[in-house]
Structure formats: structure tokens, C-alpha cells
Amino acid sequence: MFFKITHKNNGSRARTGILETPHGSIETPVFMVVGTKATVKALDPEDLKKIKTQIVLANTYHLTLSPGEKLIKEKFGSMREFMSWKGPMITDSGGFQVFSLGFGMEHNVGKLGNIFPAESVFKNKTAEKQEKYAKIDENGVSFKSPIDGKKHRLTPETSIRIQEDLGADIILAFDECTSPLHDHEYTEKALERTHRWAEQCIKAHKTKQRLLGIIQGGAFEDLRKKSSKFISSLDFPGYAIGGSLGNSKKDMHDILEWCIPNLPEEKPRHLLGIGAIEDLFECVERGIDMFDCVSPTRLARSGYLFVSPTEKGSRQNKFRINIKNSANRTSAKPIDKTCDCYTCKNFSRAYLRHLFANNELLYHRLGSIHNLRFILRLMEKIRESIKKDKFTELKNKWL
């Protein structure tokens, strides 16, 4: 049994559950910590254990470029041994990075249109040059490595094969992630490809890894409904919602409403790449069980540290303080006095600001520990609240 629902919330689709993997059980709703290149930026596996990480997500695209899945498989067995992480892992399929390399760059957008700019794997390249990096055809995508310019090709079959070599417990189907600027015609064409690729992935998949299907369809109601019906008709043990989530929070919520009712109750649902505090509440409420997002560590590195409502965290300030603010220069307080992380237990805002101002490496570690533990602890509270039928109260307290 891969997934078991343990409690359903009254009055919403929120639920708690357990995902079983060969390397441990995962309580849901879960925030999956992103370790793109087989490392959660600035943290080691002991840190991950201490902050109570349940599962780490690594990226197929990045790892096939460096150091290569063959090295990992042949010399180490799997990513787990390579990075010395003993808990569960998941890999994505490379579909999102293909989008970033291709249309994401051309359109200069991310999954949420105007809300986030595209993940900039090619910060220093011009848009013209970026376009050339990825080319999609009916059978897969060809792209050049930004590291050494070598040609690579990802297809449903190669993505599954690479993910098998990387050896995560959960893997994802290879999909085409469309841009919020794509029209209905293109999005539908891409959807048909993604559906065909989903069937090819199932056929290519030979291991006991759990392969999740991915629903696409952009912000188009008919396409999202079509995709969620089609993908859920295939025998996947769980489903992910990927691709463009429109241009606003409302678009994202609408998309969930179009998809979730078509998905089987008893299988887990992963919302790819989303993880803002507000979104965690809104999407758990709409029935999402799994989240992953780079934002906690990325925000930490930029000086943004999470605070709870007791420290004046709110939807308006996105539950963040900016450690650079001069008020923090002399503050002997921790980031958040209600937080149980190593950073809050041992260091002041003034010390963190001093480290940040002096470009000290330790800052990144301490900031990342806090932001990740903050989110993981919030998920613990969310699970607790669902079990006690107090989810709405918790959500109202925060939002």
C-alpha cells in the first residue's frame, strides 16, 4: 500500500495520510525539501534530519548534466548513497526544466505567469540565445547543456531510465510544461503530447519506484478537466499537477477545483513547485497532499526569513522579515521566538545580520535551517489541525 488516508477534515478536502516508501513513512500533507543537485543548498544530511525532513526532491535535469546518472548508479548505487541521505527521495522528470530552457525563457515567465519570473538557469544569457537551448518535438526534447554545450535529449523513455538510475523512491512522468502565455491551441497540442508521453512512461517503467502521472492544461478549464480525467484513468499510484498555474492566486485555486474532483480520493496528489505559506494553507484545503518548492532556501539566501503571526508575520508581509533591515542590527532577539530550530535557539537577529552583511557562509546555513524548519513545522501544525478538525481555525489564525 503506497498511500493511506488517516483523517479527513470536515468541510474541506484537506486530509492527512501516510505515504509508504522503502526508506521510511511520510506523513502528509508533506513539504518535500528540494535538493536540486543532490544537495539541499547549504545543509548536510544531519541538518535535514534535525529539521525533520521527511523526503528530499532532486532534479533529473540537473543531475543528468552533472555528475551524470551513470556515475551515481555505478559507483554509489543511488543518489541516497551519493549524497549520504538515508531517508526517502523523489525525482522530477526534467519536464519543468525543459520548459524553463524553452518557452519559459522565450516568454520570460514561470509557472505562475506574472507572479514569478522564470527560473533563470541562464541569468547571463540574452533571450535570443536562450531560445536555442531547448527544442520540443513529438518524441521528446533536445537541448544543449549550459555547462559544456553538449547536446542532450530527454524522452519519456530516457527520463524514466535516468530516474531509475538515480534511484529515488518516487519518480515523475515526463511531461511538457507549458507557459501561461501559450494559447489554447498550443496548450492543447502540448497536452496531447504529455498524455501520450504518460503512457510511454508507464510502458518504459520497470522498477518498483512509484511513478506519478502529471496533469497539464495550463489555465484552461476544459484542458485541465480533460487532463485530470485522462491521466487519472491511467494506472499511476498518485498524481501531480504541473505546468502553468495561471496569472493569479485565483487562477491557481480554479485550476485545483477543475482537477481535484476528477482524481481518485485514495491516491496522493502533488502540486509541483508551489510552497508559499499562504499557498500551503489554500492548497491543503483543496486536497493537495505533497508540495515541493525551492523558495524557503532561496528566500533565506536573499535575506528573507520566515516569521509566524506572533512575530507579526502576515499574508501582507508574506510571513517574512528582511534580515538586512537596520532595526535588526542591534536586535538580540531570535528570528522567531516561537521557532524550535537550531538558529532561533542559538543566534540573534543582530548576529545573522552581521553574517549577512559580511557575506559570511554561515549565514546561508543558519538562514536555510530556519526557513526550512519553519515550513516543516508549519506542516506539522497543519497535519495536527486536520486530525483535530481544527484546520480552518489554524488557517484563519495565519491568514
Stretch that binds a second copy, among 70-78, 192-200, 256-264, 371-379 (CB under 8 A): 70-78
Q: Does 352 bind a second copy (CB under 8 A)?
A: no
Q: What is the DSSP letter of 132?
A: T
In the complex, the smallest distance separating the C-beta of residue 262 from a second copy, rounded to whole angstroms, is 40
Q: What are phi and psi of 347, to 5 degrees?
A: -135, 150
Give the residue among 282, 333, 346, 288 at the shortest CA–CA distance from 307: 333
- Do 300 and 364 touch, CB atoms closer than 8 A? yes
Among 143, 304, 351, 391, indicate the residue that binds a second copy (CB under 8 A): 351
DSSP reduced 3-state for 57: strand
Place of cell 543531475: 63
Among 57, 366, 376, 382, indicate the residue that binds a second copy (CB under 8 A): 366
CA pair distance 286, 396, nearest whole angstrom? 15
Q: Does 114 bind a second copy (CB under 8 A)?
A: no
C-alpha cell belonging to residue 279: 499557498
The residue annotated as part of the active site, out of 251, 292, 336, 389, is: 292
Count of residues near a second copy by CB under 8 A: 38
CA-only gyration radius of the chain, Å = 20
CA pair distance 184, 220, nearest whole angstrom? 7
Q: What is the DSSP letter of 113?
A: B
CA pair distance 245, 160, nearest whole angstrom? 25
Count CB atoms within 10 A of the CB of residue 330: 10
C-alpha cell belonging to residue 387: 486530525
Q: Does 348 bind a second copy (CB under 8 A)?
A: yes
The residue annotated as part of the active site, out of 44, 92, 183, 222, is: 92
Give the residue among 289, 247, 20 at the shortest CA–CA distance from 116: 247
Q: Does 332 bind a second copy (CB under 8 A)?
A: yes
- Contact track, a second copy, 71-90, x by CB under 8 A: x---xx-----xxx------
- Is 71 or 127 the residue whose CB approaches a second copy more closely? 71
- Is 272 or 355 the residue whose CB approaches a second copy more closely? 355
DSSP reduced 3-state for 78: coil
In the complex, the smallest distance separating the C-beta of residue 39 from a second copy, rounded to whole angstroms, is 5
Among 4, 7, 18, 67, indicate the residue that binds a second copy (CB under 8 A): 67
Contacts of a second copy in 215-234 (CB under 8 A)? none
Q: Is 76 exposed, middle or buried (0-12, 13-18, 19+ CB in 10 A)?
A: middle
In single-letter form, the type of residue at position 106 comes to E
CA pair distance 132, 162, nearest whole angstrom? 24
Among 6, 10, 338, 346, indicate the residue that binds a second copy (CB under 8 A): 346
* 292 classed as catalytic: yes
* 92 classed as catalytic: yes
CA pair distance 29, 27, nearest whole angstrom? 6
- Is 239 or 347 the residue whose CB approaches a second copy more closely? 347
Stretch that binds a second copy, among 7-15, 158-166, 354-362, 374-382 (CB under 8 A): 354-362
Contacts of a second copy in 9-48 (CB under 8 A)? 37-46
- Residues written for the chain: 399
- Contact track, a second copy, 155-194, x by CB under 8 A: ----------------------------------------
Among 5, 181, 202, 350, indicate the residue that binds a second copy (CB under 8 A): 350
Q: Does 1 bind a second copy (CB under 8 A)?
A: no
- Is 247 or 348 the residue whose CB approaches a second copy more closely? 348
- Is 6 or 84 the residue whose CB approaches a second copy more closely? 84
CA pair distance 111, 95, nearest whole angstrom? 12
In the complex, the smallest distance separating the C-beta of residue 50 from a second copy, rounded to whole angstroms, is 10
In the complex, the smallest distance separating the C-beta of residue 291 from a second copy, rounded to whole angstroms, is 23
In the complex, the smallest distance separating the C-beta of residue 190 from a second copy, rounded to whole angstroms, is 30
CA pair distance 155, 185, nearest whole angstrom? 22
Q: Which residues contact 206 (CB under 8 A, 6 or more apart)?
A: 164
Active site residues: 92, 292
Residues at the contact surface with a second copy, assessed by CB under 8 A: 37-46, 66-67, 71, 75-76, 82-84, 329-330, 332, 342, 346-348, 350-351, 353-355, 357-358, 360-362, 364-366
